[in-house]
Structure 1
Amino acid sequence: MLPSQKGRFSLPDGLHYLNAAYMSPLLKSVEAAGVEGVRLKRVPTDFGPADFFTSADRVRQLFAQLVGGQPKHVALVPAVSYAMATVAKNLDVERGQTIVVVAEQFPSHVYPWRRLADDAGATIRTVEPPAPLGTPGRGADWNARLLDAIDADAALVAVPNVHWADGTVFDLEAVGEQCRAVGAAFVVDGTQSVGALPFSVERARPDALAAAGYKWLLGPYGMGALWLGERFREGRPLEENWIGRAGSDEFAGLTSYEDAYAPGAVRFDVGERSNPILLPMLAAGIEQVLEWTPEAVQATCAGLAERVVDGARALGYAAAEADERAGHLFGLRPPESVRLDALAEALGARNVSVSIRGGSVRVSPHVYNTEADADALLAALGAARS
């Protein structure tokens, strides 16, 4: 476990920010990288041709190190929706096949598949949880239902590692194995896990993994990463931009148009990816995550989660067992006597920031949190019962 890292952030005293799943605060190092990028853009001659490539390659290298892949297989994307649209463009789905998702996934990991299903005449198969949050065995049973849904009709399984609303952890290694057994594509939204929970593309073996940068990667809004497996590496990008082409680093020859793409996943990069502000910020965020390690981040968050869950249960709230939820993101189901408007008022009065998702309290601590933050949350949970 790490000692409190609050000093690396600019969070004000008195704010109990247990809401990293909503948006991470900026590290001071990330903020400094962004300011330096703004200064670089002031004088265009300071941003040379090589700068269109070096920061992008640095982010690829860092993200690949984080997930255990190779930099050449990482594309730079502005959002998970862009990443999933890229995957959808390169996936053949036939009439009558199914696309498997879990209930109440984040919309960016649902809407692309709904469009794909409509266009192909396929069906979305939504795997519902077996019981309310906090029911013993709910996570294991939900995972079992998911595996049962991946049958010979499945063309695609699109799931998160950690459910964005309640923190349920899905067994991606088991899901991937079942996908390969039936020939289904396996696509993971890692936005609410990569950076805070150890993840390996070698173990999970997804066909694609996307992560937005502004949550657990501690980066800016508007820049993330897409790792692509062999199934999609030779596909067609959403955009036909110049920087994704072979020889694009030779600026004098750009009008000698080249149909061949640059090697690797560069072809899938978003246009104007060489952002002198966002890329250095994302690099600084991932560098800090790597210094801490996702293992240490998870252990630190899990310690706070245990304190919160134990205290909340004593107040009548329900929560999943530790082996079925993440330490950095988990849900608390209020007792029937607690109104959500009263809970929101109690949280606001104590300057506690969490999220309400699907009738549950979503708590997402990070390494800047302390026991005082956990206790402020518990005080608000208790006050809402009165």
Structure 2
Amino acid sequence: MIPSQRHLFDIPDDIAYFNCAYMGPLTKTARAAGHGGIDRKSLPWTVAPSDFFTESEQARGLFATLVGTAADNIAIIPSASYGLAIAARNIPLEKGDKILLLEDQFPSNVYCWQQRARETGAEIVTLKSPADHDWTNVVLAAIDEKVAVAALPHNHWTDGALLDLKKIDAALRAKGAKLVLDVTQSLGALPFAIEEVKPDFLIAAAYKWLLGPYSLGFMYVAPTHQDGVPIEYNWLNRKGSEDFAGLVEYVDTYQQGARRFDMGERANFALMPIAVAALEQLLDWGITDIQETLTQKTRDIAARCADLGLTSLPDDIRAGHFLGLRRDGGLPKDILERLRTEDIHVSVRGSSMRITPHLFNNEADSDKLLAALKNIL
């Protein structure tokens, strides 16, 4: 168990923030790194050509370490939707193919597939939410010879319902189908290893569980797709771009590996230092220890909320960093506003009140949340 890390964040004692699935806060160190980057940009004569590459390569390497792969397999992207658009563009589809999605899946991992279905004649199959919330069995039952790709999360963004990606990956591979993952709502808090689950593409925005900046993310691209087609054509990811004097010698070749999919202006002098600091901190804590600590936090809250008539998914099918609380008859419509007036911050997604803590939460936060819920309910 990791002790409370609140001292590393600028969160006042009277704020109970249980909303990391909405947006993760920056550590003080990451914020200072961002300020330093802005200061450097205000003095452009101090920015060397090498600076366009050093920090982005450092961040690429740190993210690669996080998922257990080589830096060459990682692209730098501005958002989950950007990475998913690349995946959709580079997964072969034809008329009659099936694209598996989950009901109420986050829209960034839906819209791109709707467009590809219109373009190719492929069919989107939206899997209905199971009564027992066991998405794994639902996905496994849907995999047949016509499935070309499953576009999934590691856990559902509304209530944390967990998918067993090892089993799903094996079943897809047996049918020759592809796996595309949006792990924005899990990576950084839930362990993931490329050697255990081998997706074709894996995408994560940095601003939630990676505790990084908005408008920055990362994408794993399997080697078999690294000769694919990017969705923009910038100069920085071309071979030899380090030589600024030679940029007018236009080339068709790209830098090594997944770098061809990098967004333009990847060397963001304000955001990239934040990402580096955030990834370093996550790796220092250790993702397994983060998950174990957050699992205990959400388990304790769930047990105390049971006395208030609030129910949650069983531990064996719930990601430990997520707690979706439901109540027979539904939640009060004004529950968010009433909690917010007491400086308690959660979300409601679908029929669930989403409690998503991090290492900055302490026992006082939990006590404050439970006292408020008791008064409201």
**Matched letter for residue 250 of structure 1:** D
Task: Report deviation, 1:372.
Answer: 1.6
What is the alpha-carbon distance in structure 2 between the residues aligned to residue 239 and residue 278 of structure 1? 20
The Cα shift of 1:335 comes to 2.9
Give the corresponding residue for 2:354: 362
The residue identity in structure 1 corresponding to 2:18 is: L
State the shift of 1:338 in Å: 4.1
Equivalent residue for 1:266?
A: 259
Query: How many angstroms does 1:381 deviate by?
Result: 2.2
Task: Give the deviation of 1:357 after TM superposition.
Answer: 0.2
* Seq. identity, %: 44
Residue 81 of structure 1 is matched in structure 2 by 81
Q: Structure 1 residue 332 and structure 2 residue 325: aligned?
A: yes
Give the aligned residue type for 1:61: G
Give the letter for the 1:88 counterpart: A
Cα deviation 1:67-123 (Å, max 9, x = unaligned) = 001101100000000001111111211111110011111111111011111111111
Deviation at 1:155, TM superposition (A): 1.1
Residues 160 and 338 of structure 1: is their aligned pair in 2 closer, same or farther, counting only changes over 3 Å? closer
Alignment of 1:114-129 (within 5 A): 114-129=114-129
2:239 to 218, 223, 246: 246
Displacement, 1:203? 0.3
Structure 2 CA distance, aligned partners of 1:338 and 1:168? 19
Contact 2:99 2:113 in 1 (8 A): yes
- Work out the CA distance in 1 between the residues paired with 2:105 and 2:65: 27
The two structures, once aligned, show a CA RMSD in angstroms of 1.1
Distance in 2, Cα, partners of 1:56 & 1:337: 46
Contact 2:336 2:346 in 1 (8 A): no
Q: 1:9 — aligned with what? A: 9
Tell me the CA shift for residue 234 of structure 1. 1.1
The answer to whether the 8 A contact 1:168-1:330 is kept is no
SS in 2 for 1:201: coil
| Residue type of the alignment partner of 1:282 | A
1:1-386 equivalence runs, <5 A: 1-131=1-131, 138-140=132-134, 142-336=135-329, 338-341=331-334, 343-385=335-377
Structure 1: which 4+ aligned runs deviate by more than 6 Å?
none
Contact preservation (8 Å) 1:308, 1:375: no
SS at match of 1:346: helix
Q: Distance in 1 between matches of 2:331 and 2:147?
A: 41
1:337 to partner: Cα distance: 6.6
Q: Which runs of 5+ in 2 are unaligned?
A: none
Preserved contact between residue 20 and residue 215 of structure 1 (Cα < 8 Å): yes
Normalising by structure 1, report the TM-score. 0.96
Q: Shift of the alpha carbon at 1:365?
A: 0.5
SS in 1 for 2:196: helix
- For 1:203 and 1:338, how far apart are their aligned partners in 2? 39
1:135 is matched with: none
